[in-house]
Chains A and B, each alone.
Chain A
Amino acid sequence: MVSGCLAKVVFSDAKHNFLIHYLAAVLLLLAAPIVFGFSGLDERMAAMPMEMISPVIGMILMTPVFMPEQNESIYDVVKSKKTSHTLVCFLRIILSAAITALLVSALALYMRSSDSQVTARLFVSTLGSALALGALGTFFAAVGDNAVIGYMVSVSYLVMDLFMRTKLKKFDLFTFTDGGTKVNPWLFAAAAVLVLAALIWRKYRK
Chain B
Amino acid sequence: MLFLKECKKVARSLTFWIYCIILALMFFTNYYSDVRYGESRPSAYEQDYGTKVVEDPDLIMDGAINSLMGEFASNRYICYPFGFYKAVSLKDNDRNEVEKLIQELTGTDHEGISEFMDEAQVNYVEHALSTYPEYVFNTMIVDKNVSYERFKEIMGEIDDILGGGSLYAVDSLAFNFSRVPMTYEEALKEYEDSITADTMTGALSRLFCDYTGIDLALIPVFVAAAFTAADRRRRMTELVYSRKISSLRLTFTRYAALVTTMFIPVLITMIIAAVQASVVYSGEELKMHLMFTTPTFWLLPEIMVVTAVGMLVTEIFSAGVAVAVQGVWAFISLMSGSNELYGDITKFGLMCRHNTLYHRSAFMETYNDFVFNRIFYMILALVLVCAAAFIYNLKRGGRFNGIRLFGKGGILRRKA
Contact = CB atoms under 8 A, between A and B. Distances in A.
Contacts of A164: 29-30
Contact of A116 (B88, B128, B214): B128
A145 B29 CA distance: 28
Interface in B129-167: 129-130, 132
A144 B21 CA distance: 14
Interface in B204-253: 211, 214-215, 218-219, 222, 225-226
B82 A35 contact: yes
A160 B29 contact: yes
Contact of A115 (B14, B26, B86, B128): B128
Contacts of A199: none
Interface string A12-33: 0000000010001000000000
B125 to A, nearest CB: 10
A41 B405 contact: no
A174 interface: no
A117 B295 CA distance: 44
Contacts of B225: 148
A37 B214 contact: no
Interface in B8-26: 14-15, 18-19, 22, 25-26
Interface stretch (A2-10, A42-50, A88-96): A42-50
Interface in A32-69: 34-37, 39-43, 45-46, 48-49, 52
Interface residues of A, number: 33
Nearest to B26: A160
Interface residues of B, number: 39
A55 B255 CA distance: 32
Given A115-B129, A159-B214, A45 B85 contact: yes
B87 interface: yes
Contact of A163 (B30, B84, B128, B324): B30
Interface in B152-184: none
Contacts of A148: 15, 222, 225-226, 319, 323
A140 B79 CA distance: 38
Nearest 4 interchain pairs by C-beta? A37-B86, A117-B128, A35-B82, A156-B22
Interface of A: 20, 24, 34-37, 39-43, 45-46, 48-49, 52, 115-117, 144, 146, 148-149, 151-153, 155-156, 159-160, 163-164, 167
Interface of B: 14-15, 18-19, 22, 25-26, 29-30, 76, 79, 81-82, 84-89, 127-130, 132, 211, 214-215, 218-219, 222, 225-226, 319, 323-324, 327, 335, 405-406
25 contacts: A24-B324, A35-B84, A35-B86, A36-B86, A37-B86, A40-B87, A41-B85, A42-B128, A46-B128, A49-B84, A52-B84, A115-B128, A115-B129, A116-B128, A116-B129, A146-B14, A148-B225, A152-B19, A152-B222, A153-B22, A156-B25, A156-B215, A159-B215, A159-B218, A164-B30
